[in-house]
Structure 1
Amino acid sequence: MAWRDAKASKIRLLLFMSSIILGIAAVVTIQLFSNNLKDNIKSQSKTLIGADYIIDSKQLPTERAQAIIDSLKPGAKEVNFVSMIAFPKNGGTKLVKVQGLDGNFPFYGKINTEPVSAASSYQALGGALVDATLMLQFNIIPGDSIKVGEVTLPIAGALKSMPGNSAISSSVAPPVVIPYRFIDATELLQFGSRKEYQYYYKASDTLNLIRLEEKLETALDIENADLDTHTSTTRRLGRRYDNVCKFLNLAAFIALLLGCIGIASSVHIYIKEKLNPIAILKCMGASRRQSFLIFLIQIAGIGIVGGIIGSLIGVMLQTVFPYLLKDFLPFTLEISISALPILIGIFLGLSMSVLFALLPLLRTWYVSPLDVLRVDEKGSQEPRKVRLMVFGVILVFLFLFSLWLIKDALYALAFVVATLLTFAMLASVAIGFIKIIKRFFPKHWSFTARQSLLNLFRPNNQTVVLVVAIGLGTFLISTLYFTKDILLAKTEIGQTEQNANIIILDVQRDQRDDVARTITTNNLPVLNNIPLVTMRMQSLNGRLVNEIRQDSTRQIRGWLLNHEFRTTYRDSLSDSEELMAGKWYSNVKQGEPVMISISENLAMDAKLNVGDPVVFNVQGVLIETTVGSIRKVDWSQIQLNFSIVFPTGVLEQAPQFNVFSTMAPTEASSAALQQELVAKYPNVSIIDLRQIFSLVDDILEKVSWVINFMAFFSIFTGIIVLIGSVRTSKYQRIKESVLLRTLGAKNKHILQISAFEYLFLGLLGSLVGLVLALVSSLCLALFVFKEPFIPSGIPFMVFLPGITLLVLAIGLSNIQTVLKSSPLEVLRKES
């Protein structure tokens, strides 16, 4: 009976099925991608770093640290730093990451070069491996030369990839690999230079890396060094990408929920039409169980078939994400298909179809044989207790599935509550709209307009479900568009004389005047000349840092106990700072206490308040200070910000270097300045902010593309639900339209009535979704990003009219049968 009834209603059942196919496809796609990502990280963990473990230090290792490093017998070593290089062939200059390598690195994976032989021969030949993209940009080929500081080397080959380098980091500062023995000759490692020493090890099969890490971590920590194993790198990478996968999973789950709402609505209408045949079946002796199972089997079949189709689509689509995210991954993602996500897709298709259809299905259980004779729109109703139990089961399922996705009970609960609130708000707007129309019904409007408004609250109306489906889809994608605009607004560089777009780093004391003159002779302004002094904390509140470091019960954050602070001194606050507590001290006279200002986050991590003493070690000289004020710093502003600021009159004679900033109006003026500075001062590093923010903009575009791709599932699922729901309403509207034609209504009247009804529904649903998106995006801008909110015009110009017209088109297609045929023919066909 289930099969026979399904064949008679196959078109409508296919629309029910389509409601969940895209949601299942989204979930399976992300699940497969997540599994591939985790498997690749696990299988390629050694290749990611090129070794079993690494010991690294931000400065030349101390005597004790060097003894530990030598005792473990490293197989290779590296020093890397960021610096400017020049190509003598064409005078080009670029900020790069110089990597001085010695030894047989990497132990796992390989250095990919063009020609291939350059990876093994560059050490013996004394050549350099230069990033392949960088060589293309400057029209450089192997055999040309590169100037690194005071050393000029031949280019042995183009560097395509190597362990430890990702596409994004290479875009900011492309790698240039040279033999370690040339580092001293470059004369680039001067006072204040940021550098990192790394020692690579290949472990024996019997070495327990976890025990080694536990044994050496504390000793190396005291010496300002660190040990990273391939297993700890795997865990760190896994956590980083796990958050991305959780977000995408939730977006896919929302698409699935939207499809399930469509199923519940469609089944509700479908079962309503079947109540009379069910009552007749019961008159003929069918039991409750039999009549219930007929339609349960139908819905379960829809869920299984929809789950299978959605899973197959998910398998085909999951290759899209590795392509989109390849620049974010420090390894090549290998694709494999596992059975678990596909089985999950089929299970979700079955369970969620049955769960969300269960409430309307229960109507079949409580249908009385007397309903054949009754003319009652409400008919037999299931008890309220049963209805509440079904709602409870659905909520428990949603919570458990969310918990499985996010692995956090509190977040899973918050997600379910937020989802319920969104649906409730959309449904409340729809119900409120119906009540307003009833209360303030425009009695003086034309007949067609009044008839279309009446259809919004007549029995079997689709107002609530269509407003929810359209509104949620519009809400999701509009919020994503608005949020993307907020993020991109934070990266824009205003081309004014107040905003620097060139930053010049590592300017030594004896170079300051000449660098300033070089900038001004190029007709560019010197916007900032900031002195930087490096120092470490010696003691906090009377406790030595070494003592605090060994205290396992400490509340002070560990990062600042080993951190080398880059501080400055000045007599006033900057535009990005706001005084929160204490008093700002602009200068210090001889014999007076040194009152410093610290940032809010440093005060929190170091547990410091105004009046607390702090002793700093400045190149072996101890300076006693007192916290005079605490500042709130806007770290997002495009300028140098500092955790610690000294007053003038203290650090002027301390070892220091300077940072200059200027504003080059054109690329040509920027290139000319960079070429002149690099030629005169090879140790100076120059950051062109336009290149950096162009990269950031490209990254955000890719991220937003991925997010919009997931939102596409939601909006397209919403459209499928919309089509199914509007097409389902056809069966309620046909008899009314035929009756109107029998009473003398013309085709244009019926067309106008339907057009107005679906125009109201489409406009209301998309408008409510846009309003909710505006409110949520405004809250995000003010409370999360702390940025002014200027909404994008795309949702207003595209989604509002587009979805409204789509609803209108589908609605009008419903009544073509009525318009083209006689009333009697239509009634015979429908019956």
Structure 2
Amino acid sequence: MAWRDAKASKVRLLLFMASIILGIAAVVSIQLFSSNLKDNIQNQSKTLMGADFIIDSKQVPTKRAQAIIDSLQPDAHEVNFVSMAAFPKNDGTKLVQVRGLEGDFPFYGELETEPAAVATTYQELGGALVDATLMLQFKVKPGDSIKIGELTLPILGAVKSIPGSSAFSSAVAPVVIIPNRLIEATALLQFGSRKEYQYFYKVSDTVNLSLLQEKIRPKLRKENADLDTHTSTTERIGRRYDNVGKFLNLAAFIALLLGCIGIASSVHIYIKEKLRAIAILKCMGASRLHSFLIFLVQIAGIGIVGGLIGSLIGVGIQELFPYLLKDFLPFTLEITVSAQPIIIGILLGLFMSVLFALLPLLRTLYVSPLDVLRVDEKASQEPLQIRLLVFGAILVFLFLFSLWLLEDARYAAFFVGGTVITFVVLGAVALGFIKTIKRFFPRHWSFTARQSLLNLFRPNNQTVVLVVAIGLGTFLVSTLYFTKDILLAKTEVGQSADNANIIVLDIQPDQRDLVAESLTNRGLPVLNNIPLVTMRMHSINGTLVNEIRQDSTSEVRGWLLNHEFRTTYRDELTPSEKLIEGAWTPELKVDEPVVISISDNLASDAKLSVGDPVLFNVQGVLMETTVGSIRQVDWAQMQLNFTIVFPKGVLEQAPQFNVFSTNVVDEESAAALQRDLVAKFPNVTIIDLRQVYSLVEDILNQVSWVINFMAFFSILTGIIVLIGSVRTSKYQRINESVLLRTLGAKNKQILQITAFEYVFLGLLGSLIGILLALISSLCLALFVFKEPFIPSLIPFVVFLPGITLLVLLIGLSNIQSVLRSSPLEVLRRAG
């Protein structure tokens, strides 16, 4: 009976199956991708680092640190820093990462170059290896030269890949590899230069890296150095991509949730149509269990088939993710297919179809044989306790599934709670709309308008189901769109004359006037002249930093114990700062106690509050300070922000260097300025914020593409749900339309009645969805991104009419058979 009935209702059941297929495809593709990502990180852990472990220091290692480094006998070492490079061939300049290598690094993976031979001979030949993309950009080739600081070197070849680098890092600062012995000749490692010394080690598999890290790391940290093993590094990389996985899982859950709505709405209508047939079966002697099992087997079978098809589609789709995320991965992702997500997909298809179809299925148990004669749609209603039990089971399923995806009970509870609130609001709005129309029915309207409004609250209406389906789909799409706008707004760089778009770093004291003169000679303003003084914390709240390092119970964050702070002094707050505690001190007189202003994140990590003492080591001189104020800093703004700011009158005589900022009108002027400054002052570093912004925008566009790609599942599933809900109402509207034609209604009137009904539904659902998206996006902007929210008009001018038009077209397609045929023919076919 289940098979026969399914064959007779295959069109409606195919729409029901489509909801399952899309939801399962999203889950399986993402689970396979996440599994592949974790496996690749684990399998390529040594290749990602290129060594078994690394010791690194942000400064020249101390004697004790160097003794530890030498005792472990490094197999290779390097010093790396960011600097400007120039290509004399065409006067091009570019910010690059210079890596001065000595030794046979990498020990795992390959340094891929073109030609391949120079990967092993560049140190002996004394030339440079330059990032392949950078060489194409500046149209240079092997044999041309590159100027780094005071040193000009021949380019021996192109770097195609090196362990640990990604397309993203290469785009920010492309790598240039030179022999370590030539670093001194560049004259770039001056006071205040940002640099890193790294020592690479290769050991046998018998060495216990965890034990080594446990014993050596505390000693190195006392000397402002650190030790990283390939296992700890890959754990960090894995955590870095956890957020990507969580977002994708969330998107998959949304798609699955829409699929569940499709199942519930489709089966609800489908079973309602079968109640008379079930009553006839019971008149013929069928038991409650028989009638229930017929449709349970049918729905379960469709769930299994849909889960299998969705799993197979998901296997194909997950091949796209490595392409979409290639710029964020520091390795080539190899795709393998495991059976587990496929099995989960099939079981998920079974469980979600049965669970979300259970409520209408249970109604078959309460159908009476007398229902053959009854026309009351509420004649067969399951008890309230049964409905509450099923709703509870659905909520438990959603919570457990989201917990499996997100691996965080709090996030899972919040998400399920937010979903329930959204459903409740949409359902309440739909019911309120129905009651409002009933109470204030416009009896003076035309016949067609009144008839279309009657369809919204008459028996067998689909107002609540359609408003929820349309509203939720619109809500998700609009929220994604608004959120994307918030993210892009956080990286906007103003192009007005008051905003800096060029920053010049590492200007030495004797270069300040000359650099300023170079800017003014070109008609460019010096918007900011910021002094920088480097220092480290010596004690916090009276406790020495070394003691804090050894205290395992300390709540002070470890990063600031070894951090070299670059501080500044000024007498006013910047637009990106807001005072939240204490009083701002603009200037101090001689012999006055030194008060400082710290950022809120530093206050939190160092457990500092207003009035607490902090002792700094400023280039070997100890300076006592007190926290005078705490600032909230907007780190997202593309300008120089500081965790520690001194008032004027304290650091003027300390060793320091400067940062200038200016505004350049166009790319040609920016390129000319960079060439001029690099030629005159090789040690300075120039950051073109417009290039950084373009890069960030490109990355965000890729992220947006991923967001939109995943939203596609939700949108498509929502459309399938919409089509399923509206199409299944076709069979309820046919008899009514035929009756209207029999009574003399014209095709034009029937079209108008149907059109008005679905326009009302489309407008209501999509409008409520967009308004809910506005509220949720406002909350995201205020509490997550901490940004002002300026809503886009696109959802109102595109989504609102677009979704309404889609609902209208589907609704009108339902009655085409009525319009093309005679009433008697349609009634025979419907029967």
Same fold (TM over 0.5): yes
Corresponding position of 2:349: 349
Deviations 1:245-269 (A, max 9, x none): 1221121111111111111111111
Is it true that 1:628 corresponds to 2:628 in the alignment? yes
For residue 83 of structure 2, give the secondary structure of its aligned residue in structure 1: strand
Identity of paired residues, percent?
79
Q: Is 2:502–2:686's contact at 8 Å kept on the other side of the alignment?
A: yes
Instruction: State the number of aligned residues.
Output: 831
Corresponding position of 1:523: 523
Shift of 1:345: 1.0
Give, as a single letter, the amino acid of the residue that structure 1 aligns with 2:638.
I
Q: How does 1:363-512 map to 2 (within 5 A)?
A: 363-512=363-512
Distance 1:663 1:280 in 2: 83
Corresponding position of 1:331: 331
Corresponding position of 1:39: 39
Deviations 1:591-643 (A, max 9, x none): 22112222222222222222222211111111112222222222222321111
Corresponding position of 1:222: 222
Distance 1:597 1:256 in 2: 49
Distance 2:577 2:267 in 1: 59
For residue 506 of structure 1, give the secondary structure of its aligned residue in structure 2: strand
Shift of 1:538: 1.2
Q: Is 2:817–2:826's contact at 8 Å kept on the other side of the alignment?
A: yes
Q: How does 1:686-701 map to 2 (within 5 A)?
A: 686-701=686-701
Give, as a single letter, the amino acid of the residue that structure 2 aligns with 1:524.
L
Give, as a single letter, the amino acid of the residue that structure 1 aligns with 2:148.
V
Is it true that 1:543 corresponds to 2:543 in the alignment? yes
Distance 1:84 1:440 in 2: 73
Corresponding position of 2:665: 665
Corresponding position of 1:568: 568
Give, as a single letter, the amino acid of the residue that structure 2 aligns with 1:580.
I
Is it true that 1:161 corresponds to 2:132 in the alignment? no
Shift of 1:35: 0.9
Distance 2:506 2:472 in 1: 52
Shift of 1:315: 1.1
Shift of 1:440: 0.9
Corresponding position of 1:612: 612
Is it true that 1:792 corresponds to 2:796 in the alignment? no
Distance 1:375 1:74 in 2: 87
Give, as a single letter, the amino acid of the residue that structure 1 aligns with 2:113.
T
Distance 1:584 1:379 in 2: 74
Q: Can you give the 5+ residue segments of structure 2 that lack an aligned partner in the other structure?
A: none
Distance 2:754 2:124 in 1: 81
Give, as a single letter, the amino acid of the residue that structure 1 aligns with 2:221.
D
Corresponding position of 1:808: 808
Distance 2:610 2:281 in 1: 83
Give, as a single letter, the amino acid of the residue that structure 2 aligns with 1:541.
N
Shift of 1:811: 0.8
Distance 1:552 1:501 in 2: 44
Corresponding position of 2:194: 194
Shift of 1:109: 0.6
Distance 2:78 2:271 in 1: 72
Corresponding position of 1:759: 759
Give, as a single letter, the amino acid of the residue that structure 2 aligns with 1:688.
D
Deviations 1:392-411 (A, max 9, x none): 11111111111111111121
Give, as a single letter, the amino acid of the residue that structure 2 aligns with 1:5.
D
Give, as a single letter, the amino acid of the residue that structure 2 aligns with 1:253.
F
Q: Is 2:491–2:637's contact at 8 Å kept on the other side of the alignment?
A: no
Deviations 1:568-595 (A, max 9, x none): 1122222222222322222222222112
Deviations 1:674-732 (A, max 9, x none): 11111111111000001101000001111111111111111111110111111100110
For residue 380 of structure 2, give the secondary structure of its aligned residue in structure 1: coil
For residue 198 of structure 1, give the secondary structure of its aligned residue in structure 2: strand
Shift of 1:510: 0.9
Corresponding position of 1:308: 308
Deviations 1:306-336 (A, max 9, x none): 1111111111111111101000000001111
Distance 1:174 1:85 in 2: 10
Q: Is 2:491–2:636's contact at 8 Å kept on the other side of the alignment?
A: no
Distance 1:375 1:449 in 2: 26
For residue 788 of structure 1, give the secondary structure of its aligned residue in structure 2: coil
Deviations 1:645-696 (A, max 9, x none): 1122221111111111110111111111111111111111000001101000
Distance 1:489 1:293 in 2: 55
Shift of 1:289: 1.2
For residue 531 of structure 1, give the secondary structure of its aligned residue in structure 2: strand
Corresponding position of 1:741: 741
Shift of 1:142: 0.7
Give, as a single letter, the amino acid of the residue that structure 2 aligns with 1:661.
S
Corresponding position of 1:19: 19
Q: Is 1:262–1:465's contact at 8 Å kept on the other side of the alignment?
A: no
Give, as a single letter, the amino acid of the residue that structure 1 aligns with 2:766.
S
Shift of 1:413: 1.3
Give, as a single letter, the amino acid of the residue that structure 2 aligns with 1:682.
P
Distance 1:48 1:797 in 2: 47
Give, as a single letter, the amino acid of the residue that structure 1 aligns with 2:746.
K
Shift of 1:747: 0.8
Distance 1:555 1:44 in 2: 34
Corresponding position of 1:588: 588
Q: Can you give the 5+ residue segments of structure 1 that lack an aligned partner in the other structure?
A: none
For residue 326 of structure 2, give the secondary structure of its aligned residue in structure 1: helix
Range moving further from structure 2, 602-611 or 666-675: 602-611
Give, as a single letter, the amino acid of the residue that structure 2 aligns with 1:60.
V
Distance 2:818 2:78 in 1: 80
Corresponding position of 2:638: 638
Range moving further from structure 2, 448-457 or 664-673: 664-673
For residue 313 of structure 1, give the secondary structure of its aligned residue in structure 2: helix
Distance 2:479 2:519 in 1: 44
Shift of 1:644: 1.3
TM-score by length of 2: 0.99
Give, as a single letter, the amino acid of the residue that structure 1 aligns with 2:151.
V
Range moving further from structure 2, 353-362 or 387-396: 387-396
Q: Is 1:291–1:364's contact at 8 Å kept on the other side of the alignment?
A: yes
Deviations 1:735-778 (A, max 9, x none): 01111111111111111111111111111111111111112112
Deviations 1:491-542 (A, max 9, x none): 2221112110110011111111111111111110001111111001112222
Distance 1:483 1:172 in 2: 25
For residue 85 of structure 1, give the secondary structure of its aligned residue in structure 2: strand
Is it true that 1:270 corresponds to 2:270 in the alignment? yes
Distance 1:634 1:34 in 2: 33
Give, as a single letter, the amino acid of the residue that structure 2 aligns with 1:35.
S
Shift of 1:302: 0.9
Range moving further from structure 2, 515-524 or 234-243: 234-243
Deviations 1:446-505 (A, max 9, x none): 000100011011111111111111111111111111111111112222111211011001
Distance 1:458 1:203 in 2: 78
Shift of 1:242: 2.0
For residue 325 of structure 2, give the secondary structure of its aligned residue in structure 1: helix
Range moving further from structure 2, 133-142 or 240-249: 240-249
